[in-house]
A and B are shown apart, each in its own frame.
Chain A
Amino acid sequence: MPPEKNWGCSWPEQKPHRGADLDQAQAEATLEKAKPVPLGGRAALRRGLRPLRLPGLALLTALIVGAIFIIVTDEQILAAAGNFFSDPLGFFTLTLGKIAWAYAALIQGAVSNPLDIIAGLFTYITTGDNSTFLRSLRPISESLVRATPFIFAGLAVGLGFRAGLFNIGAEGQLIMGGLFSVYVGYAFTGLPIFIHLPLALAAGFLGGALWGFIPGFLKARVGAHEVINTIMLNWIAILFSRWILAGPLSRDGFVPISPNVLPSAALPQFFPNPIRFHAGFFLALGVAYLVWWFLFKTTAGFELRSVGANPSAARAAGMNIGRNIILAMVLSGGLAGLAGTIDVLGWRYNMGVDFAAGVGFDSIAVALIARSHPIGIIFSGLLFGMLRAGTKQMEAIAHVPVDIVFILQALIIMFVAAPEIIRLLYRIRVERGVEEAVLTRGWQQK
């Protein structure tokens, strides 16, 4: 893990040596703002935590607005509001009670109920039976399991953003990755796990990379816009998966679903059945670190970011724009492919037609919240995983429809993307030198 002071972008060790000094100076100037200021002690800690302030307030504000929305759409509360003047106390207790109940369910579903953990621990110590204890930890495990594909797909979209590309195609790449890995997972028999598992993972990466290569190649060669092509490829992948899961890749029966992958291709799980937590999460952490290292510590990563930050300067410095676009789309697609793979090999073990379920689209939000920083994406991915697990519990216990998660997501992105709203609300002054990252460049092609 990088130290906190590297939260922004860090200065690459190797400088690119191609191109004239003047152009290089221009390219350096583009990234100059991102250079971290060396700091020590508490100031460093405060500086390190500062990037969390706006997202934190954004999350808080989104939850408050979400609560208001839950209140105004609750028929019981609306009825009580009708009797507001005769019974104001009843209205307030009902409203506060409902909100507290709903958000308690959210937290219980996302983290877990501390009372359950204590009770489970007590049983474990006294009787040696750990099943209650493990069950009480299930919500955390669920959150981590759901966060894992978000981290991978978020890294995919984030890497694209860093190279100035808007990859809406994570959904399709994720499906292709899942299909490739599920095929390798069940069709290649008789391999030991240390060959089969890496092979299945590599196949997943390859499937996504292939689906990312097409728009990357087209953009580099003929300038066709990647947003349109990735949207088209999403639909093609969805239809292709429907066909192949009902035909060549289906198991016997009427439900279009693939056969299960063999145990030798499955990612190891650590706990008995109700806990689905698997090694994929650690893989996600490792890959996030790798992406960070690639983007900020290698020449190739520097080129990629330069092409994203200022294509004209990058071209003047002798960088090959087309090659970098293709590379970025291949890596991005591969990472998205891994997002699908990790679910297949981690806990699903097969693929159905509703496989992707919008993870690819939501990963755009994951990357946006983290401002495309790989380490930040770990946290925003975790946030999304927790929201998913939590809102499911919210629906089960407090009867708030699970779709509230989309409303919360939209609000979080809105407040993160428009920090001015948060600054207005909480009267925070504008900080000097904080980069307002350019995320996309519309349709413009340079």
Chain B
Amino acid sequence: MNTALVARRAFSLSRQQLFGLTFLIIAGAMLFLFALSSDPGQNSTFVLTAVASAQKTELPDLVLPTQATIFVLTFIVAFFGGWQLARGFRAVNALLAVIIFIFIFAFLTWADRGRQFNLTGMLIASLVRSTPIALGALSGILCERAGVVNIAIEGMMLAGAFSSVVVGSATDNLYLGIIFGILTGGAMAAIHAVLSIRFRVDQIVSGVVINILAAGLTSYLTERFLSVHQELNDSGALRPISIPFLVDIPVLGPVLFENTLIVYSMLFLLVAVHILLFYTRWGLRTRAVGEHPRAADTLGINVFKMRYINVILGGMVAGLGGAYFTVGSVGRFDELLTGGRGYIGLAAMIFGKWSPFGAFASSLIFGFADSLQQKLAILQAPIPSQFLGMAPYIATIVILAGVVGRAIPPAADGQPYEKQ
């Protein structure tokens, strides 16, 4: 072995050491940014009772001494970092998640010093804001597991958002609005399906078509009709339904059991899609069509039919996600109000490696960052809100590059199928 190689070996870090160093750097950042910039006497108050909730129990506030808490957290991270550097943990990705969580908690404690901050409120906002992203990701999973790339989530959502508010306002029935939103999403998906399955258009191109078409149609119709007939763009918003008894669980109750129908549907669909995909005959066929359509065809599965069904189902899920933006939250439609959430859903899908729970976890990260940005504006943290806004995107890039690495899509994803 020559000397140059030995030198290179000596200076190159293994993955284990790299993670260890990263953890130590995080600990250092916590020490210098948070711990040393807060005063010993300050307290951080976390309110645990949700505002305007049906919860009967009143929880006491969580009051922590700011600096001491951050010191303890820093020590924990530094310990993990040192251990990782010297000995190494087996589940390093899980450890990374824990450390990021500790870092965010330290950050919150620091930003909250001398103030009050509603922790439960932020968790509620995180779940609510991750709902459309998770629905978008589920829509993508349904399509792509069957081998059809879906970058049209944004367009399907936009169309669903528009039609649900119009129908909801016209009929004065929000649930009818949601149903129409779902159907509209399905209709947009049907165009995508026909273009990419029947006409074998490049699926990304077809997705671009749907996105532009939906943006154009909804903006055009808004300008033409909704600006004149304001009453068609005022549906009111869904009210949260609280589940008795369960809502009284501290913290978790208001977060999980006091939501609108759309959030419950998202949680239900999450489990349903997981079970359908991995434990039913339909799911096996879907995955077969997405991995190796020729083999599936040989076994008598109708590839085209499976793909049509999946794409349209996916569109319907995206349409439900669209309904969140209007009927589910503000009750009115503005041009391009989805604001790129469909693309974030797409990223969440890839991030979660095309699995429902993985996608949901990454949606939660985006939703959490979204609500954090909003809450920190209230806390007046001395960081420009734009930089906080960038955080989830930068995190995605870093994690995609460093941790997730190569995400492996279904093998036939994006390839039109031709029967021989």
Q: Are B393 and A235 neighbours in the complex by a CB distance under 8 Å?
A: yes
Taken together as a complex, chains A and B put the C-alpha atoms of A425 and B39 apart, in Å, by 75
Interface flags for B383-420 (1: CB within 8 Å of A; 0: not) read 01011011001101100111001110100011100000
- Which chain A residues numbered 28 to 79 have a C-beta less than 8 Å away from chain B? 73
Query: Once the chains bind, are A229 and B397 in contact (CB under 8 Å)?
Result: yes
Q: Does B195 lie within 8 Å of A223, measured CB to CB?
A: no
Question: Does the CB pair A406–B212 fall under 8 Å?
Answer: yes
- CB B100 to nearest CB in A, in angstroms, measures 17
Beta-carbon contact of A232 and B386 below 8 Å: no
- Shortest distance in angstroms between A13's beta carbon and chain B's nearest beta carbon? 31
Which B residues lie within 8 Å of A214 (CB)? 397
- List chain B positions with a Cβ less than 8 A from chain A: 144, 149, 151, 195, 199-206, 208-210, 212-213, 215-217, 219-221, 223-225, 335, 340, 343, 346-347, 350-351, 384, 386-387, 389-390, 393-394, 396-397, 400-402, 405-407, 409, 413-415
Tell whether, in the assembled complex, residue A364 and residue B350 are in contact, meaning their CB atoms are under 8 Å apart: no
Q: Which of A16-24, A197-205, A414-422 contacts B (4 or more CB under 8 A)?
A: A414-422
Whether the pair A410, B206 counts as a contact (CB closer than 8 A) is no
Contact in complex: B397, A443 (CB < 8 Å)? no
Assess the A406–B215 pair: CB atoms within 8 A.
yes
Cα A275 to Cα B208 with chains together (Å) = 34
**Residue A368 lies at the interface, judged by CB distance under 8 Å to chain B:** yes
Contact of B393 among A227, A232, A402 (CB under 8 A): A232
- Contact call B204/A228, Cβ cutoff below 8 A: no
Cα separation A417 to B192 with both chains bound (whole Å): 12
Query: In the complex where A401-B220, A414-B195 touch, is A232 in contact with B401 (Cβ < 8 A)?
Result: no
The 10 A-B pairs at the shortest CB distance, nearest first, are namely: A442-B414, A406-B216, A410-B213, A401-B223, A243-B386, A403-B219, A407-B216, A410-B212, A403-B220, A418-B199
Interface SS of B by simple majority = helix
Interface residues of A in 217-244 (CB under 8 A from B): 218, 221-225, 227-229, 231-233, 235-236, 239-240, 242-243
A94 surroundings in chain B (CB, below 8 A): none
Question: Do A410 and B209 touch (CB < 8 A)?
Answer: yes
Given that A223-B406, A418-B195 are known contacts, is A439 also in contact with B149, CB under 8 Å in the complex? no
The residue from B223, B346, B386 contacting A239, defined by CB atoms under 8 A apart: B386
B212 touches A242 (CB 8 A): no
Q: For the complex formed, measure the closest distance between the CB of A241 and the CB atoms of chain B, giving whole angstroms.
A: 9
Can you list 28 A-B contacts (CB < 8 A)?
Answer: A73-B220, A166-B204, A221-B401, A222-B402, A222-B405, A224-B397, A225-B350, A228-B396, A229-B397, A229-B400, A232-B397, A233-B393, A239-B386, A242-B386, A361-B212, A364-B208, A368-B205, A401-B220, A403-B216, A404-B216, A406-B216, A409-B212, A410-B212, A413-B209, A438-B202, A440-B202, A442-B409, A444-B414
User: Closest A-chain residue to B410, C-beta based?
Assistant: A443
Main secondary structure of the interface of A (DSSP, over half): helix
Nearest Cβ on chain B to A69's Cβ, whole angstroms:
8
How many angstroms between the C-alpha atoms of A421 and B201 in the bound complex? Answer: 11
A406 and chain B: residue at smallest CB distance: B216
**Does the CB pair B220–A407 fall under 8 Å?**
yes
Residues on A with beta carbons closer than 8 Å to the beta carbon of B346:
228, 231
Interface centre among A224, A231, A364 (most CB of B within 10 A): A224
Q: Are A406 and B347 in contact (CB under 8 A)?
A: no
Chain B residue, CB-CB nearest to A221 = B401
Contact A247:B223 (CB < 8 A) given known A218-B401, A406-B216, A417-B206: no
Contacts A224-B401, A413-B212 given; does A407 touch B205 at CB 8 Å: no
Known pairs A239-B387, A362-B212, A404-B220. 18 more at Cβ < 8 A? A73-B224, A214-B397, A224-B405, A231-B340, A236-B394, A403-B215, A406-B217, A407-B213, A407-B217, A410-B213, A417-B195, A417-B201, A417-B206, A418-B201, A421-B199, A439-B202, A439-B205, A443-B407
Q: Is A441 an interface residue (CB 8 A)?
A: yes
Indicate whether A130 reaches chain B with its CB closer than 8 angstroms. no
Complex CA distance for A218 and B406, rounded to whole angstroms: 11
Give the residues in chain B near A227, CB-CB below 8 Å.
151
* Distance of A189 Cα from B52 Cα, bound (Å): 58
Chain A residue at minimal CB-CB distance from B396? A232
Inside 8 A of A328's CB, which chain B residues have their CB?
A: none
CB-CB under 8 A from A418, the residues of chain B are: 195, 199, 201
Instruction: Report the bound CA distance from A361 to B335 in whole Å.
Output: 17
Residues of B contacting A404 with CB < 8 Å?
216, 220
Shortest CB distance A41–B (Å):
35
State how many angstroms separate the Cβ of A211 from the closest Cβ of chain B.
12
Name the A residues within 8 Å of B215 (CB-CB): 403, 406
The answer to whether A228 and B347 touch (CB under 8 A), given A243-B387, A404-B220, A443-B149, is yes
How long is the Cα–Cα vector from A404 to B213 in the complex, in angstroms?
10
Residues 233-275 of A, flagged 1 when their CB comes within 8 A of B and 0 if not, give: 1011001101100010000000000000000000000000000
